[in-house]
Structure 1
Amino acid sequence: MVCDPWIRRLSSEEKENLKPMIFQSQSTDELIETIKDRIGKQVTHADVKTMKSQIFTVGNNGCSTTTTSVD
């Protein structure tokens, strides 16, 4: 069961601490587990997707870019 969005919300400081892991392109599942272990909050896939898009948009001065990864 996932709690109310206000309970899942990460503070600015928590997001800053997670940036290196997000930039390393960990999978969404790995990020969810890391957040749960380090911060103690249960987030959803949608929460992680939103967080990634906000970080990458701000990192590009408000310009979104599309990147393609080859496995």
Structure 2
Amino acid sequence: MVAVPAFVDGEAVRIPARLRYRLGGGDIKWFYQLYRWEFWLREQVQNDLERAGKETALPTFEGVPEARLTGL
């Protein structure tokens, strides 16, 4: 597991990671792959948005990706 905050000073998002290796030229190259990181990060952002709305009693809004705005 890798834990990183979605926002500065926010709660850490726990993202599953797979430890991988490759053999090449007699050396072992170690690396990791995050498993479904977009899902876990998005879930934390939604939780933070809901929490902010409850704590401030203000309406919350979510935008659309910039790519969808170019067709307007």
TM-score by length of 2: 0.35
Which structure has more RCO (C-alpha within 8 Å, separation ≥ 6)? 1
The structure in which a higher percent of residues are helix is 1
Higher strand share: 2
TM-score by length of 1: 0.35
